Structure 1
Amino acid sequence: MGIETATYLLVALIFLALPTGLPLAFITGLVALGFTFGWFGTNALPLVTTRVYGFVTEYSLVAVPMFVLMASLLDRSGIARDLFNAMRVFAGRLAGGVAVQTLVVAFFLAAMSGIIGGEIVLLGILALPQMLRLGYDRHIAIGVTCAGGALGTMMPPSIVLIIYGLLASESIADLFTAAITPALMLMLAYVTYVLVRCGRRPEMGPPMTREEQAAGSLTKLEALKSIAMPAAIAFMVLGSIYGGVASVTEAAAMGVFGVLIAVLIRREFSTRLLHESLYQTLNTCGMIVWIGIGAATLVGVYNLMGGNRFVSATILGIDAAPVVIILVMMAILLVLGLFMDWIGIAMLTLPIFVPIVEQLGYDPVWFGILFAVNMQVSFLSPPFGPAAFYLKGVAPPEIALKDIFTSLVPFIGMQMVVLALLLFFPQLAMWPLD
């Protein structure tokens, strides 16, 4: 069997196995073992164990459980709730103000943890019911909740960017620096969309009355105090990285320490809170590690078969400008994003794509930003967009999955516009590194 036939067979086996419901980690692992023994013989097991060992001993991976634990503690404390209530003071009686407030809070949460699912659940509990109660258009309320929560894929300390840096052997600090402007672009695009639509039709985002704003509202001083603590945590994490005080892994540990101190100051600490947070962290990181093991094994074996050379020659053999080749990669990532989790996509594609990007003369850090925006699109896209399922778990029963996916269409469109801008104008992301 030639490498071309083997490539088609490998891809076909993965996609045929996905509908079975078997976890992606096991699918990729089983396919990898099958090709290992079929291509190299029964004595080739050390090829698999070497890849697994190399992946699980990667130092940069330590940052992942730290940031997940940060997010888990934030989920269970009242920090996010108080931040949302504080922003209510500044939202005022602006048409669409609560939706804008939700997006700003989402940006803050993304800057503190970089975990997406928890943010959407939090916003689904805090913001969505309030917007619906105030008479907001259902599609705007749902879209803002999901799209705002998905900002965690872009805003440092994004787990997506950490995994990309690990796989591409690029500076995670550089990736974080380059991601801030695109993250702001996305947030401002969402805010502009909400303000324009609600400005033209105020009934889609009714402004709060003076009584509603005052009900349970904080004074401006109390609101500033509620914002100060999350801002301090975000500054502790990102400031230590950008200031060269700590590595990303060390900054992640500092972030956990900061959140724990905040929880203690607020007198919310309990053994139950710590136990549930640690359990969620182990559960999430276990999924990431297993998917990583399966994908690392599969890619390693495929590369030893000569697959990376075959794919590289095929893509580079396209008789087109380099930017067209990047567009082909983006299209592949978008299609995979319709059916697979971002972790699996990253593990399977980046070891092959990043060397091609370097051969074309592009900066891998810039490609990492494109990858992160692409994964934002996949997070919202049907039929398996995880954001919709996270929100469905906490949304009112009358909101169906169809309603959620329909609401996300304009936000996916805005993500695609930002992706195109970053593709054709790389300096939008790269200017802080010049």
Structure 2
Amino acid sequence: MPEAVMPLLMFLSLFLLLVLGFPVAFTLGGVSLFFGVLTFGFDFFNLLPMRIWGTMTNYVLLAVPLFVYMGVMLEKSGIAERLLETMALLFGRLRGGLAISVVIVGAILAASTGIVGATVVTMGLLSLPTMLKRGYSPELATGTIAASGTLGQIIPPSIVLVLLGSILNVSIGDMFVSAMIPGLMLVGLYLFWIIGVAIFKPEWAPAMPKDVLEKFRSQNMGKTILEAFVIPFFLVLAVLGSIFAGIASPTEAAAVGAFGATLLTLAQKRFNFETLKSVMQETAHLTSMVFIILVGASAFALVFRGMHGDRYLSELILEANLGEGSFLFIVMLAVFIAGFFIDFIEIIFIIVPVVAPIFQQMGVDLLWVGILLAMNLQTSFLTPPFGFSLFYLKGVAPEGISTGHLYRGILPYIAIQLIALLAIVAFPELATWLPKALVGK
């Protein structure tokens, strides 16, 4: 059997087992062990522990459980609930004001937590019934909530950016800074779409009743706004500000954020033993899921490279005379299609380690590639049939909201994300200008 066939067989075996529904983490590890022993014999077991140890002692990856803890703790604090209610009343007099408030709160929560599931569920529970009650189109309401909840994938601090930066060997701080403009651009495009809908289809996005707004204004509105916005602002400032100012590394800033979220929960009088126990259990569960997949992916990458799969792939691309643009298009298309079927973590650990050396060999800016991948991976939470944001939202949606509503509602936002992705491809400065400007290059 030709040597080049073995890496291909390994990839096909992995894909087939994932399609059949086997757990990703154990499938990655199992396929890697089988092909590792088949190719290298039992000496493979002398190599694997060193590779796993190197991954698990990576200081940068310590930011993952800390950011997860911060996000889950903030969910329990009630800050998101207060922020949503206040923002909805602030924009309530505008047509589409409720939808606008959902997008802005989604961006603020993204910069505070970065936990997509918690954000979507929180906004779904609090905003969706209100939007439907006020006469919003089910498609517009569900699409806006699902899309806004995924902003935590691109707006820092983001676990996606931490994992991508680690695998691409790019500074996590640079990844965070680079993602700011694309993330804000995406928020702006969402708002532009909602305003357009409110103008051309006003019956889909009516304004809130005047009596509700007048009641809000008469009940110490200034104090309510101040309390709702100041608390998350200081947490964002502590986390992102310390990174951008060069005071703390992303891992250290994640620790500051975790401690700050605990203090805020304490200040909101929501902190008790049950809350702490729940937060720690959820953090341990999510972190374990990420790291067991990472262990399997490390084993997979070790075997793939041991088979010279990366060399064969490079030779195939060079022989096909694929330029940078063509190869980038193929990778982005593969990531986008993979997002229909598997989670972003799996895509990062399976595809990115294979293509990163080829981009590096071509002389492509890996920071720019990382932002493109992050923006593309965000669609993995939105694309039917396995978009996790859609699952989260469907789980908390009231009766009468069908899967069809969710699918139709999310399509415009998927199109918006693809437009933003194309803009960053056409104008790389959108991702690379800010880090260079901050360091004075």
Of 237, 240, 243, which aligns to 1:241? 243
Residue 132 of structure 1 is matched in structure 2 by: 132
For 2:50 and 2:303, locate their aligned partners in 1 and report how far apart those are by CA, in whole Å.
11
Q: For residues 286-317 of structure 1, what are the alpha-carbon distances to aligned partners after superposition, in whole Å with 9 as ceiling and x for unaligned?
A: 11011111111011111011011111222233
CA contact (8 A) 2:55 2:295 kept: yes
| Mean CA deviation greater in 216-225 or 55-64 | 216-225
AA aligned to 1:184 is L
- What SS class does the counterpart of residue 4 from structure 2 fall into? helix
Q: For residues 252-292 of structure 1, what are the alpha-carbon distances to aligned partners after superposition, in whole Å with 9 as ceiling and x for unaligned?
A: 01001111111111111111111111111011011101111
1:10 deviates by 1.2
Residue 293 of structure 1 is matched in structure 2 by: 295
For 1:318 and 1:388, locate their aligned partners in 2 and report how far apart those are by CA, in whole Å.
39
In the alignment, structure 2 segments of 5+ residues that lack a partner are: 437-441
For 1:153 and 1:251, locate their aligned partners in 2 and report how far apart those are by CA, in whole Å.
18
CA contact (8 A) 1:318 1:325 kept: no
For 1:80 and 1:249, locate their aligned partners in 2 and report how far apart those are by CA, in whole Å.
24
AA aligned to 2:88 is R
CA contact (8 A) 1:308 1:352 kept: yes
Residue 179 of structure 2 is matched in structure 1 by: 179
Alignment of 1:4-403 (within 5 A): 4-215=4-215, 219-403=221-405
CA contact (8 A) 1:161 1:172 kept: yes
Of 429, 432, 436, which aligns to 1:430? 432
Residue 407 of structure 1 is matched in structure 2 by: 409
For 1:18 and 1:321, locate their aligned partners in 2 and report how far apart those are by CA, in whole Å.
31
1:112 deviates by 0.7
Alpha carbons of structure 1 residues 216 and 46: separation in structure 2 relative to 1, 3 Å:
farther
For 2:127 and 2:162, locate their aligned partners in 1 and report how far apart those are by CA, in whole Å.
29
AA aligned to 1:45 is F
Per the normalisation by structure 2, the TM-score is: 0.96
CA contact (8 A) 1:296 1:348 kept: no
Runs of 4+ with >4 A deviation: 215-218
CA contact (8 A) 1:312 1:352 kept: no
For 2:139 and 2:309, locate their aligned partners in 1 and report how far apart those are by CA, in whole Å.
44
1:2 deviates by 2.6
Alpha carbons of structure 1 residues 275 and 100: separation in structure 2 relative to 1, 3 Å:
same
CA contact (8 A) 1:358 1:364 kept: yes
CA contact (8 A) 1:389 1:401 kept: no
CA contact (8 A) 2:6 2:307 kept: no
CA contact (8 A) 2:72 2:115 kept: no
For 1:320 and 1:18, locate their aligned partners in 2 and report how far apart those are by CA, in whole Å.
29
Alpha carbons of structure 1 residues 224 and 154: separation in structure 2 relative to 1, 3 Å:
same
For 1:327 and 1:77, locate their aligned partners in 2 and report how far apart those are by CA, in whole Å.
43
AA aligned to 1:345 is I
- What SS class does the counterpart of residue 321 from structure 2 fall into? coil
Residue 439 of structure 2 is matched in structure 1 by: none
- What SS class does the counterpart of residue 396 from structure 2 fall into? coil
For 1:320 and 1:196, locate their aligned partners in 2 and report how far apart those are by CA, in whole Å.
40
1:216 deviates by 5.5
Alpha carbons of structure 1 residues 23 and 69: separation in structure 2 relative to 1, 3 Å:
same
For 1:5 and 1:400, locate their aligned partners in 2 and report how far apart those are by CA, in whole Å.
45
CA contact (8 A) 2:76 2:265 kept: no
1:146 deviates by 0.5
Q: Across the two proteins, how many residue pairs are aligned to each other?
A: 434
Alpha carbons of structure 1 residues 17 and 320: separation in structure 2 relative to 1, 3 Å:
closer
For 1:157 and 1:38, locate their aligned partners in 2 and report how far apart those are by CA, in whole Å.
41
Q: What value does the CA root-mean-square deviation take over the aligned residues?
A: 1.3
| Mean CA deviation greater in 240-249 or 318-327 | 318-327
| Mean CA deviation greater in 370-379 or 12-21 | 12-21
For 2:322 and 2:194, locate their aligned partners in 1 and report how far apart those are by CA, in whole Å.
39
For 2:92 and 2:127, locate their aligned partners in 1 and report how far apart those are by CA, in whole Å.
15
Per the normalisation by structure 1, the TM-score is: 0.97
- What SS class does the counterpart of residue 41 from structure 1 fall into? helix
In the alignment, structure 1 segments of 5+ residues that lack a partner are: none
AA aligned to 1:232 is F
1:366 deviates by 0.5
CA contact (8 A) 2:157 2:240 kept: yes
| Mean CA deviation greater in 304-313 or 14-23 | 14-23
For 1:410 and 1:322, locate their aligned partners in 2 and report how far apart those are by CA, in whole Å.
29
For 1:173 and 1:394, locate their aligned partners in 2 and report how far apart those are by CA, in whole Å.
35
CA contact (8 A) 1:316 1:356 kept: no
Identity %: 37
CA contact (8 A) 1:86 1:224 kept: no
Alpha carbons of structure 1 residues 316 and 387: separation in structure 2 relative to 1, 3 Å:
farther
For 1:354 and 1:416, locate their aligned partners in 2 and report how far apart those are by CA, in whole Å.
22
1:151 deviates by 0.4
Q: For residues 203-234 of structure 1, what are the alpha-carbon distances to aligned partners after superposition, in whole Å with 9 as ceiling and x for unaligned?
A: 11110121122456650332122100001101
| Mean CA deviation greater in 43-52 or 139-148 | 43-52
1:402 deviates by 2.8
